[in-house]
Amino acid sequence: MEQVSNDSGWRGSPEGWLEAAYEALLESGVDSVKILPLAKKLNLSRTSFYWFFKDREELLAALVARWRDKNTGSLIKQSEAYAESVVEAMLNVFDCWLDKSLFDSQFEFAVRSWALQSSDILAEVQKADQARIAALSRMFVRFGYKESSADVRARTIYLVQIGYISMQTREEVAVRMRRIPDYVEIFTGEAPQQRELDRFFARHGYVQA
- Residues of the chain predicted below pLDDT 70: 1-10
Q: Which pLDDT tens digit goes with each residue over 21-53? A: 999 999 999 999 999 999 999 999 999 999 999
Q: What is the pLDDT of residue 11?
A: 73
Q: What is the pLDDT of residue 6?
A: 39
User: Could you tell me the fold of the domain covering 1-53?
Assistant: Arc Repressor Mutant, subunit A (1.10.10)
Q: What is the pLDDT of residue 9?
A: 47
Q: What is the pLDDT of residue 12?
A: 84
Cα 69 to Cα 49, 108, 139, 185, distances in angstroms: 23, 12, 20, 30
Q: What is the pLDDT of residue 1?
A: 44
Q: What is the pLDDT of residue 208?
A: 81
| Model pTM score | 0.91
Q: What is the pLDDT of residue 92?
A: 98
